[in-house]
């Protein structure tokens, strides 16, 4: 059993700024967890339908959780394995009315998201990273409401700084914020980082993700940073973020080994 009798640990990855790095963080963090032998899966609640590529899939996922006609209780049928070893529930091709329908369904049934994920059959103790659309968004709000931990991505840009209060408000103070796109050699970037950290206070995760070309290279190659760009700054950043997340979301009864669980499709031990 997971924490409080829960089978899964849900982690919503959200932001109020566009291009903040939600998908990047979701994908590389998931790959890093899998690399460390911790059961993990990704749920893509973003109409961009592109996180599969970051997990190494060569082809666009046609059908997924946002596709018209895919009922929430049939998510199991759209679950797929990925080359980096992270099971994925992709968004799939979607349209505005399918998204509105899911948003309304989730708003009517606050426990629905967790229930549908429980029904997918992931290993007990799996951490599910939920990639979302930029806030405000009804589906992203439902992910926040259902999540055990909310990871707010704050790009260290003027937009990231300006929208940080929106992020904090949308998460009702529950966001644990990670600065992304940190450029230590830029004085402006350093100033913005300090402002963001000062405003975030205790809600800032005590690490940062640097702007690193290796991120683009890894996504172009559809591979994990650990494999594609071992030793890069970003690879190191995600090792730190994975270690923090593992501590921040401990399984209640001694971890994946006690659960006898591995991610489906083979995280290593």
Ligand X SMILES: Nc1ncnc2c1ncn2[C@@H]1O[C@H](COP(=O)(O)OP(=O)(O)O)[C@@H](O)[C@H]1O
Which residues of the chain form contacts with Mg ion (CB under 5 A)?
22-23
Q: How many CB atoms lie within 10 A of CB 96?
A: 8
Q: Which is nearer to Mg ion, 22 or 262 (CB)?
A: 22
Decide which of Mg ion, ligand X, none touches 266; Cβ closer than 5 to 8 Å per partner kind: none
- 184-191 LR contacts (CB < 8 Å, sep 24+): 184/210, 189/156
What is the contact surface with ligand X in residues (CB under 6 A)? 15, 18-24, 180-181, 209, 211-212, 215-216, 219, 234
Q: Which is nearer to Mg ion, 26 or 67 (CB)?
A: 26
Q: What number of residues does the chain have?
A: 269
Q: Which is nearer to ligand X, 142 or 256 (CB)?
A: 142
Q: Which is nearer to ligand X, 8 or 229 (CB)?
A: 229
Decide which of Mg ion, ligand X, none touches 20; Cβ closer than 5 to 8 Å per partner kind: ligand X
Decide which of ligand X, Mg ion, none touches 82; Cβ closer than 5 to 8 Å per partner kind: none
8 Å CB contact between 253 and 20: no
CB of 29 to ligand X, least distance (A): 11
CB of 132 to ligand X, least distance (A): 9
CB of 239 to Mg ion, least distance (A): 22
Q: How many CB atoms lie within 10 A of CB 243?
A: 13
User: Measured between alpha carbons, how far is 123 from 260 in angstroms, rounded to an integer?
Assistant: 9
8 Å CB contact between 71 and 108: no
Which helix (H) or strand (E) element contains residue 44?
A: strand 40-45
Task: State the DSSP string of 169-200.
Answer: HHTTT-EEEEEESB-TT-HHHHHHHHHHHHHH
CB of 193 to Mg ion, least distance (A): 22
Helix runs in the chain, H state only: 22-35, 51-54, 96-108, 112-118, 138-146, 158-170, 187-200, 213-221, 225-228, 233-248, 256-259
Q: Which is nearer to ligand X, 19 or 112 (CB)?
A: 19
Decide which of Mg ion, ligand X, none touches 216; Cβ closer than 5 to 8 Å per partner kind: ligand X
CB of 19 to ligand X, least distance (A): 4
Q: Which is nearer to Mg ion, 27 or 228 (CB)?
A: 27
CB of 181 to ligand X, least distance (A): 5
């Amino acid at each position: 059993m997971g924490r409080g009798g829960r089978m899964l640990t849900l982690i919503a990855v959200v932001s109020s700024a566009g291009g903040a790095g939600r998908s990047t963080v979701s994908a590389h963090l998931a790959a890093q967890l899998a690399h460390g032998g911790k059961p993990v899966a990704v749920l893509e609640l973003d109409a961009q339908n592109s996180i599969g590529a970051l997990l190494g899939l060569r082809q666009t996922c046609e059908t997924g959780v946002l596709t018209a006609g895919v009922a929430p209780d049939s998510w199991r049928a759209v679950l797929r394995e990925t080359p980096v070893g992270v099971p994925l529930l992709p968004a799939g091709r979607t349209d505005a009315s399918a998204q509105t329908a899911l948003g309304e369904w989730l708003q009517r049934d606050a426990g629905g998201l967790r229930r549908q994920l429980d029904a997918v059959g992931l290993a007990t103790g799996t951490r599910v990273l939920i990639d979302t659309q930029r806030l405000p968004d009804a589906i992203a709000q439902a992910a926040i409401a259902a999540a055990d931990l909310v990871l707010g991505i704050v790009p260290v840009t003027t937009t990231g700084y300006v929208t940080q209060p929106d992020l904090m408000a949308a998460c009702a103070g529950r966001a644990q914020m990670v600065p992304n796109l940190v450029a230590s050699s830029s004085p402006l970037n350093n100033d913005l980082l300090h402002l963001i950290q000062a405003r975030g206070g205790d809600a800032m995760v005590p690490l940062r993700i640097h702007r690193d070309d290796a991120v683009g290279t890894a996504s172009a190659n559809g591979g994990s940073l650990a494999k594609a760009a071992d030793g890069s700054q970003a690879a190191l950043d995600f090792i730190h973020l994975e270690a923090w997340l593992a501590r921040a979301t401990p399984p209640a009864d001694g971890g994946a080994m006690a659960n006898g669980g591995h991610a489906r499709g083979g995280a290593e031990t």
